[in-house]
Structure 1
Amino acid sequence: MTEKHGGLHSETRISMADGTRKRLAQVENGDEVLGTDRGIRVVSTQVSEVHCAGPGASWTKLSGRRLRAGRGSSFFSLISSPEHRVWSPGPDTYTPVGEYSPSQRVTLLRSEHDLTPCQRSVLLGKLLGDGHLHKARSGSASVVWGHRQADEEYVRWTLRALGDLASTTTRTLTSGYGSTIITARSTFHPSVAECFGEMTASGKKRVTPWIADYLDPLALAFWYMDDGSLCHTEGQEDRATLSTCGFDEDDCRVLLKGLRRLGIAGTLMRDGRGYLTIRLNSAAAECLFLLVAPYVPPVMQRKLPGRYRGHNGWLPPTGERQFRPQLVPQLVEQVESNVQSKRSAWRTSSRYAITTGTHNLFANGLLVHDST
């Protein structure tokens, strides 16, 4: 049994998982919307029920200035029944709209759902390496990867690098060779599909031309840790290879172009089994080591020459996102009770409530309870 607490105006715009907004009256069971998990991170969540509670007898309006929350209007507002609950950061609780007062805070979703530069580079590196793209019906996507159990710390390192885009769930699987594999993934996010969807549009992972311009040291580090090898032979300088057996020659030409941008001159060759591989002579390999070493954690430093080992690795500070945070606190400046719209349709508009998997959603950008 569920009990409904309040409702939202039918004209309210709901943030969908594909990055669009849809009128509340048009949302249907099975739709994917954006909500937050228990860690207050933005995630995709499915609508399990849309409930129409009939015409609203009374409406309350919250409004205020919209600051540092991306492109769009300079103001935010929400019209709902007085008992509908809105997330209040600070006390970390849901508060009925009718109990709000000016100067209290609400949580607003940034209009752009962009990845940070760090997240984009890490995911690019994983997709060039061992990762694959998992697309959802909602239009969002996730990057999934796995490594042998001995390299579990590398799995954790990748999750740390993704910050608030990292899923908290890892799985242990047995490979076809009988070894134990630790798998992890990013959360589903519309920008993951937008950035990387073209790489798998053909049904096979490809290296699209834009990658040559976006390959940077951080992406290169994760690609090298996944698919790179240190070639160390006594009496010779250190060299390196990058396995590209999953790509064709056109893909490899894009990768070579990207490496040249970074000052690394690679040579495309075939290994003893006939697979394509990019080989780096000692000078090119030294350029590679110099660029990627800062981002390589101890568990993967076996892929670096001894002179580049012995440090803890570096990543941008973890925790709450500082660059363009997805959730932005805003101050309520006005609370209007018994709102009467100039449009008669609004005065008689039905109240709607939505049930979601996370029991919350974003209405006109504000984080609200799903009223169940």
Structure 2
Amino acid sequence: MNFSKRTRKEVRGAIIGMVMGDASLYQGTYRDGSRKGNYLLNMSHSYRQRQYLEHKRDIINDLFDYRLIVRDTIAKAQGKTYPASRLLTRVHPRLSFIAKRIYIDRKKRITQWALDNITDEGLALWWLDDGCLHLNKPPQKGGDMIWGTYGFPKEDVELMRSWLTDKYGINLHILKHKRSGGYYLKRGLSEALKFSEIVRPYTPDSMRYKIAERSMFVQGPYSLSNNLQNSARPPLRGDDMVHACGNAG
């Protein structure tokens, strides 16, 4: 599939997926400390996912008349530091157009507009940011797909679940996370296979480990390594193989 030329709507739909996931939109800061004017986009990933960030960069670069640069840095989280890669754009009116339809009182929300305008590619990027395959430990086979929507209120997650059912026939359950109190979506690998058929064409090689394969049902959870053999992500071991989630590791 050739993604070299995207329409304005396709670029917008992909950016919506980025923002629903790990990216953020905010107004530029002026010398007096105020934020006003058009919005810019900021996103970062673990250095191990630099290729994935470059993939996103190549999509959003269609908005700008200069080459966006992915920069390496050191990130801090939970008292620890780790190598990371970051992309920060300049302000752009089309980013402002998106931000004003997603952010409510400066909080990112799953709005009906976002769901109406996100593309399949945007959906894939959202999943690759916040979704994971949680595979059962041997000798059990199978597992679950988990979509970490913890930062959104329950009514937003309910809207998203209904939309996935109505548009794609994907049926997920809403569960509450015991420690954080946030909500997430979950279902077995049979539903993950259906969903993977939608997002697979838009998944770069470095993120293939988040795509469900039928071999998982036959060979058990450690068949996940088959997805990683051609991936830029280093091989996982032990519980990391069972909980193949997230991009910060």
Q: Same fold (TM over 0.5)?
A: yes
Deviation at 1:138, TM superposition (A): 6.2
Select which of 123, 126, 140 maps to 2:15: 123
The one-character-per-residue Cα deviations of 1:129-183 (angstroms, maximum 9, x if unpaired) are: 1111122366321221110011111110111122322662333232232112211
1:200 paired residue among 103, 128, 137: 103
Q: Is the 8 A contact 1:135 1:141 kept in 2?
A: yes
The residue that corresponds to 1:133 in the other structure is: 25
Question: Quick check: which has more Rg, 1 or 2?
Answer: 1
Quote the residue 1:165 is aligned against. 63
Partner amino acid for 2:144? R
From the superposition, tell whether residues 203 and 269 of structure 1 become closer, same or farther in structure 2 (CA, over 3 Å).
same
CA distance in 1, matches of 2:63, 2:121: 17
Write out per-residue CA displacement over residues 52-88 of structure 1, whole angstroms, 9 at most, x where no aligned residue: xxxxxxxxxxxxxxxxxxxxxxxxxxxxxxxxxxxxx
Partner residue in 2 for 1:223: 126
**Structure 1: distance between partners of 2:43 and 2:214:** 29
State the superposition RMSD in angstroms: 2.4
Residue 84 (structure 2) aligns with: 181
Task: Show structure 2 runs of 5+ residues with no match.
Answer: 1-6, 29-34, 216-226, 232-249
Moved more, 300-309 or 169-178: 300-309
Q: TM-score, normalised by structure 2?
A: 0.71
3-state DSSP class of the match of 1:218? helix
User: 2:17 touches 2:124 (CA, 8 Å); kept in 1?
Assistant: yes
What residue ranges of structure 1 are gaps of 5+ in the alignment? 1-114, 313-372
1:251 Cα shift?
1.4
- Name 2:223's counterpart in structure 1: none
CA contact (8 A) 1:238 1:285 kept: no
Identity level (%):
23
Amino acid in the other structure paired with 2:56: T
By percentage of residues, which structure has more helix? Answer: 2
Contact 1:297 1:311 in 2 (8 A): no
Tell me the CA shift for residue 238 of structure 1. 4.5
Counterpart among 197, 201, 209 of residue 302 in structure 1:
209
Pairing of 1:73-152 with structure 2 (within 5 A): 116-136=8-28, 139-152=37-50
Structure number having the greater strand percentage: 1
- Report what 1:73 is aligned to: none
1:73-132 Cα offsets, whole Å, 9 max, x none, are: xxxxxxxxxxxxxxxxxxxxxxxxxxxxxxxxxxxxxxxxxx712211221111111111
Structure 1 residues 311 and 143: alpha-carbon distance in aligned structure 2, compared to 1, 3 A threshold: same
Q: Provide the secondary structure at the position in 2 that maps to 1:254.
A: helix
Q: Contact conserved, 1:174 with 1:180, CA < 8 A, in 2?
A: yes
Q: Partners of 2:143 and 2:108 in 1: how far apart? A: 30
Q: Which structure has more RCO (C-alpha within 8 Å, separation ≥ 6)? A: 1
Aligned position for 1:291: 198
Query: How many residue pairs get matched?
Result: 198
Residue number in structure 1 paired with 2:141: 236
Q: 1:209 offset after TM fit, Å?
A: 2.0
| More off after superposition, 271-280 vs 283-292 | 271-280
Q: What is the DSSP-based 3-state SS (H/G/I as helix, E as strand, rest coil) of the residue aligned with 2:37? A: coil
* 1:293 and 1:304 in contact (8 A); partners too: yes
- Give yes or no for contact 1:162–1:186 (8 Å, CA) kept in 2: no
Q: Distance in 2 between matches of 1:180 and 1:197?
A: 32
User: Contact conserved, 2:14 with 2:118, CA < 8 A, in 1?
Assistant: no
